[in-house]
Every structure is written in C-alpha cells, then in structure tokens.
Structure 1
C-alpha cells in the first residue's frame, strides 16, 4: 500500500482568510512568492489527508475514513477551482509567447480528469470495495499534476512576476476559496466568468451539505500523521 512521507499539515477548514506568512529577507537566494507558498501549503494538506485515508481501516473504522474523505474532498474542490479562477489566468497574463496559455490549457485538462475522479470518490462509502482503489487512481493523476505544477508551472510564473504581484495573487487565491463549491462538479465550466457564475450557484448547496457531514476534529485518529480540525499537529 502506498505511503507518503510524514508531512506537517496546516490548519483545516479555516473560518476566515489566513494572513499571509512573513518571509525572511535574503540578499543571496531568490524567494518564492506568496502564491507559490499558498499553493504548496494546499498540496501538502492534500498529501496529509490522503495519507490519513490510506492508513485508516475503512472496513473496521469507516467513521475515521469518512471524516478524512470529506476533508480531502473539501480541500481539493476549493483548491482546484481557486487555481482555475486566479492562478491559471495569471499564467496566461504574465508568461509570454503563448507559453502561459498552453500551460493553463494543460492544467485545466488535468483538472477535468481530477474532478471526474473526485466526483466518483466523494460519493463512495468507506466500506465500498471501490473506495480505496478509486482514491489510489485519483491520487496517481493528482500527484503527477502536483509534481508538474511545482517543478515547472509555478517556477515559470515566478520568473515573470514580482513579490507584490505574488502577494496579490495569494490574497485573491485565499479569498476565492471562501466562495467556491466544496464538492466536485465536473460539468461546471473551467474558465471565468462562466465558472464563477455557475460555481456561485452550487456553493450554497455544497455548504448546506457540509453541515451534515462529519469532518476531522480533535478526537479523530490521524493514522497518516496529519491533524484534525483545530487539533494539535502530529509530526513524525
């Protein structure tokens, strides 16, 4: 069974937009911009949630698996749409010679595949024989996308923007996540303004459904060394 390295997760399901972390000044090493840091934090959270599901026992402890399943879906759905509304348009705007548009088109196509698999996974009960195989299939696609984004796409954006632009994108990214759907909707358009309009219609329904779902809390086991909502970090 696939196990990822132990990861440090950031707080789950924030009620308010998190303030952006202060980054130390350096005269020797170029710094990542705030938007790269924000995206990578989400990626590490997703890895942690995935670990917690894979290391749980869905058959004997479906409650724990369901809580981390809901957290994984919630995080990935918001992250994906915020990237499509904020980050991919920035690729198109700032990366010259058509390279940014090609990059954004590639990432949107990969997101569509992820959304379709997430749509299937979010409806599965932990006791279903398809639960873990579907998650593993989803993670194979998603982890490849994450690796390419961190190795190629974000560095390309970094070379074309300054710190102020990165800070502005990070603020927009954080704000956007508060107003987008929290479940996968593969049929929703993947470009603004249509994605924005349709997403705003789906968001209230998703958030109403979230009220009746179980999410990790302080007492939820984190077998993959993650953390529950509001709980203390568990670092290996």
Structure 2
C-alpha cells in the first residue's frame, strides 16, 4: 500500500495494512512459527502507528475539533487497552495457548478503534483543518513512525511533550533489539 498524503490518508493506509496482517494471522495455523512472526509484525505496525497518533493526531483533535479533548481521551484509552494486550502477546511463544485468545482480543479492540476513528474522528478533523494543515500533519506522522518504538511500552507517556522526547530513545533501543534478534524481518 502506498503511504503519503495528509494525516488521514496516511493513518487510513496504516489501518488497511493492519487489517491485512490480521487476515494473514487468521489464515496461519494455530501454533505455527509464522503466526508468531506475523503477530510481531502487527505489533511493530500498531506501536509505531499509535505513537504517531499520540504525538500528532490527538493534539490536533484537541486543538481543532469541538469536544476534541473528550475524543482524544477516549482514543488514548483505546490505545492503552491495545498496548496491554500487545505486551501480553510479546511474552507468548508460538505454542502458547493464550496466543490465540489474546490475538482475538487485540483484533476486536483494534477493529473498534479503527471504526471509531474513521467514522467519527477523521471526518471531524477533515472539516476542522485546512488541507495544508492536514498535509503537514501527514509529514510529521511519517517522520514520527520512523523514530517510534517497535515494542509496547504501556508505562510510557502518551501526551506531548514527554512522548515526543522519550519515544525516539525507546525507538532506538527497540530497533537495536529487533536487529539483534531478527524480529520484524520477513
């Protein structure tokens, strides 16, 4: 899928990629090493996506959308739920009987979150911001995803400025760990 464009297009592309990964996970047999590799891949994508949303999408929603504070708070609560599930999945082996149950909980939670963003939040943000502002936010999101952590950090701050300061350092450590272990390499 092609990345680029404004923040809404960028994040929607991420949503479709995660949905594709969910389908590939469901198609792989329970207990298979490939299933765990795909779960690691979806974890990487979800963490990077969430960090970028927390750094740029939700602050923009707070600033520009009516009742934006409540909307952003609800989305951050969704992120916290997903991050806890991802942390549990991170500790599972391919053969762990909890893996399938946790994956289904993750899929359900992410699907609800994506639906809410695409039906409620994105249209309101599109109406509240200029095309130029949305394009600028898209660039910032793409940059943030490159520096973001690749592993769940449930205790990390989720609002600026702390998340913008700490996420790149955690991202560097995560990418080093991934390089050493081969995690995230297809």
TM interval, shorter chain, is over 0.9
Residue in structure 2 matched with residue 189 of structure 1 by the alignment: 157
Aligned residue in 2 for 1:159: 127
Query: How far did residue 201 of structure 1 move?
Result: 2.7
Measure how far apart 1:58 and its partner are: 3.5
- String of CA shifts for 1:12-58, please: whole Å, max 9, x gaps: xxxxxx5x35xxxxxxxxxxxx2111111000111111111111014
**TM-score, with structure 1 as normaliser:** 0.74
Q: How much has 1:213 moved relative to structure 2?
A: 2.6
1:92 aligned to which of 52, 55, 62: 62
CA distance in 2, matches of 1:125, 1:189: 28
Q: Give the drift of 1:214.
A: 4.1
For structure 1, which segment, 121-130 or 73-82, has the greater mean C-alpha deviation from structure 2 after superposition?
A: 121-130
Superposition map of 1:68-217 within 5 A: 68-96=38-66, 99-211=67-179, 212-215=181-184, 217=186
Deviations 1:66-121 (A, max 9, x none): 2211210110000001000010000011113xx11111111111111111111111
The answer for the alignment partner of 2:21 in structure 1 is 49
The count of residues paired between Structure 1 and Structure 2 equals 185
Q: Which runs of 4+ in 1 moved over 6 A?
A: none
Q: Distance in 2 between matches of 1:198 and 1:216?
A: 25
CA RMSD of superposed structures (Å): 1.5
SS in 2 for 1:186: coil
> Contact 2:58–2:72 at 8 Å: present in 1 too?
yes
Alignment TM-score, normalising by the size of structure 2? 0.94
Structure 2 gaps, min length 5: none
| Unpaired segments ≥5 residues, structure 1 | 1-9, 12-17, 22-33, 218-236
Please say if residues 110 and 145 of structure 1, whose CA atoms lie closer than 8 Å, have aligned partners that are also in contact. Answer: yes
CA distance, structure 2, for counterparts of residue 38 and residue 191 of structure 1 = 20
Larger Rg: 1
Q: 2:11 aligns with which of 39, 45, 55?
A: 39
Contact 1:181 1:203 in 2 (8 A): yes
